[in-house]
Amino acid sequence: MDTLAFLTDKQLLQFLRCSRTEMSCMVQPHTFLNQLRDHHLIPENMYKKLILIRSKELREKGVYRVLDWVEAERPDSIKVFWNCVFRDHLLQQYPTLRLLRNRLLDGSFTFYEKLPEKTGRKKRKQKKRSASAEEEQPSTSTQSTPSQKRKVQRLKYCSPFRKGEKADIWTWPIYKSQLPVTCGDKEGMLNRDKLAKGEKCIVAQGRWFTPSGFEEFGGKKSRKNWKCSIRCRDTTLEKLIQEGHLTSPDFKRRKSAQTKRALFPSNQSAGSITGSEEDDGEEEEEAEQEREEGERGEQANTAEGESSSGVSHGVVKKCVFKVTCGAINGMLHKDRFASGSCGKSIRTEQCWMTPIKFVTEGSALEDPSWKKDIQYDGKPLSVLIESKLLHIHSLLCKCKLCSSMVKDRHDQDNDDDCFICRSQGSLICCDKCPRSFHQRCHLPNVDDAMLGDNRTWMCTFCVLGASQLWRYPKQMTYQEALTCRISDHLLECQYLLLCLYKADEDNIFVTDPCINVRNYTSVIKTPMWLGRVVEKLQQNLYKTVHHFVSDVMFIFTNCATFNRDNAEFREMGKRLKDLFEREFKSTFSIQLQHPAASNSQ
């Protein structure tokens, strides 16, 4: 990737104009000149004259003339010039070039909106001649009349603003691309384009920061609201964004009052897991809206055929109805339902839909009615509305489900709960499917640097589905799959573990059984659990797929051995084992029907 791609030719020319003197002082510039000659960036006659010069002073003047010629005669090749100058062998030989490259890339060089124009030589000569002519002309004063001393007028500096007028520097042309900002006692320059793209956009002391990172750098981490912590001339970035002077991306994160659980081990602290927080005022407003919706939709907790997802570990109980319309089916979530056109309340495998959208997808009728055509337990959806199990919001309702704002509609495109642990919290949303995850529940774990408004993020489920055909153009045998290197099939192993975590709703096989199960070590000599498998996979302790499969199968073998007299837990282990074998064969495109248990030991 071209490291100078983010700079324009005009900026690179300005950088050359301001760096010519430094570059002309380089010791023994022969290699530098040879590089320019190889890329036809120096005239041959100029090169031959300059290479023969022995005087240091004359050589510096010659190099300066070369750079002046490049700026004047080769402006269209300015990117070629800097790319050939910043080659590794030149950077190692000339410290000056290293300093210039760092100054260009870390943002410490200031690009001025307009530099003074270059004055021609002829003008300067004419000025000299006119000045000398004035000196030669006789003065009106004679020797008997001594000339009076002129009073020198000193320059006066004044502010371009009147007294009390606010200096809105973010509207100045000079700050069109960059803006000076402060946070605490730290100062930096904010790149407007990088902020709009959701990238690291603030440079301070030679380092690039995200807005939240600069907030922490400035000692304001506890506020957890960079839009109010970072200021430009005592004006918060939040106000500049609201007034349209800055563009800030809408990061794909969702907040909730629920505390999340990170299932997978991580070397990072709990603070890094939580992620960035929103304003306290926004959280209070959301909580108030939830209370209003709860009062408005106060309904029976259970109904015939109604299912509740999540029964333990702090997971919020949700009323869900299995609905169908024609050939498609989905799950209608009561807490998301608002009306036929508001509230994406029906979850299919591909996306969230409003009832009207769901009917449009599934019904072949010319004029479908969502209340009649959506079926629940063989009955139209209107039955649930009449029995007050579903409540239609008022046309004047101002809740987020009924909002017409694009952001509120976009927030309904993904699940409100983590797809793996089924609890709420700070979630990241897949751009290709409706799934949401905690950053540490997903495999591989997701860092903050990977998140941004203009960056498409796909979960492991979608990545594997999109790459399945070209990853396995031909089927393989079970033994061939086991002998594959684990480094070539990390994606498949991560997918299989996510499937097991998702299926293990009560987290029976997640943690070390030696801690919670009495007399476990007296029966089982080689304990194994899902958390340990994930840990070994992340630490690259598996060499082949066979080693990975063996540890997973140990979990199920130990379960069957320890629970010989407990049919309930033995059946849980068998169910997960069958799931693993089925998904393993599908994921690796296994040709033969081989029982995984017998071959993995």
Q: What is the pLDDT of residues 486-526, one digit of tens each?
A: 988 899 999 999 999 999 988 889 989 988 888 888 999 89
Closest C-alpha among 29, 39, 26 to residue 70:
39
Total residue length of the chain: 601
Q: What is the distance between the alpha carbons of residues 174 and 516, in angstroms, rounded to a whole number?
A: 65
pLDDT confidence bin for 151, thresholds 50/70/90: very low
Q: What is the mean pLDDT of residues 301-319?
A: 45
**How large is the average pLDDT for residues 281-286?**
45
Q: How far is CA 585 from CA 352, 491, 600, in A?
A: 30, 15, 13
* Residue 98: predicted pLDDT: 84
pLDDT of 311 over the 50 cut: no
Report CA 93 to chain centroid distance, whole Å: 37
Asked whether the predicted pLDDT for residue 320 surpasses 70, the reply is yes
Cα–Cα separations (whole angstroms), residue 502 to 48, 76, 422, 494, 495: 73, 57, 9, 12, 11
Would you call 225 helix, strand, or coil by DSSP?
coil
The token pair at 342 is 């508001």
Q: Look at the pTM and tell me if it is higher than 0.75.
A: no
Q: What pLDDT does 2 receive?
A: 59
**Tokens standing for residue 327:** 């050939």
Percent of all residues in the chain with a pLDDT value above 90, rounded to a whole number: 21
**Alpha helices in 74-189, H assignment, sequence order:** 78-85, 88-93, 95-105, 121-136
CB 212 within 8 A of CB 195: no
Q: Are 230 and 129 in contact (CB under 8 A)?
A: no
Read out DSSP for 69-81?
HHHHH-GGGHHHH
Confidence of residue 546 (pLDDT cuts 50, 70, 90): very high
In this predicted structure, the answer to whether residue 600 has a pLDDT above a threshold of 50 is: no
Instruction: Determine contact, residues 431/458, Cβ cutoff 8 Å.
Output: yes
Residue among 187, 274, 288, 281 at smallest CA distance from 238: 281
Residues linked to residue 107 through DSSP beta bridges, in sequence order: none
**Burial of 398 by CB count in 10 Å (0-12 exposed, 13-18 middle, 19+ buried)?**
exposed
What is the band of 295 on the pLDDT scale with cuts at 50, 70, 90? Answer: very low
Cβ of 190: how many Cβ atoms within 10 Å? 26
CA atoms within 13 A on the CB side of 315: 20
Q: How many CB atoms lie within 10 A of CB 506?
A: 10
Of 370, 390, 394, nearest to 380 by C-alpha is 370
Question: Quick one: pLDDT at residue 550?
Answer: 94
Q: In the prediction, which pLDDT does 303 show?
A: 38
Other C-beta atoms within 10 Å of 131: how many?
9
Where helices occur in 199-354 by DSSP H, the ranges are: 211-217, 226-229, 237-242, 270-274, 280-296
Cβ count near 89 (within 10 Å): 9
Element (H, E) at 597: helix 596-600
pLDDT for 279 beyond 60: no
HEC string of 191-223 equals EHHHHHHCCCCEEECCEEECHHHHHHHCCCHHH
**Which amino acid type is present at position 96?**
T
Q: Which two tokens stand for residue 261?
A: 């659980």
| Mean pLDDT on 546-559 | 94
The reported pLDDT for the residue numbered 17 is 86
- d(CA 335, CA 39) in angstroms, rounded, equals 66
Give the span between the Cα atoms of 441 and 264, in whole angstroms.
Answer: 6
- DSSP helix/strand/coil, 227: helix
- Contacts of residue 10, Cβ cutoff 8 Å, sequence gap at least 6: none
Instruction: Read off φ and ψ for residue 181, nearest 5 degrees.
Output: -135, 160
Q: What span, in angstroms and rounded, lies between the C-alpha atoms of 39 and 319?
A: 70
- 154 pLDDT more than 50: no
pLDDT in tens, 63-99: 898 898 988 888 888 888 888 888 888 888 888 888 8
Q: Which of these, 172, 173, 150, lies nearest to 161 by C-alpha position?
A: 172
Strands 318-325 and 307-309: antiparallel
Assess whether the previous peptide bond of 527 is cis (omega < 30° from 0). Answer: no
The alpha helices in 438-563, defined as continuous H runs, are: 460-471, 478-482, 490-503, 513-516, 520-523, 530-538, 545-562
Between 309 and 388, name the one with better pLDDT: 388
Please report the pLDDT score of residue 500 as a whole number. Answer: 94
Number of separate helices (H) and strands (E) present in the chain: 27, 16
Peptide bond just before 444 cis, omega within 30 deg: yes
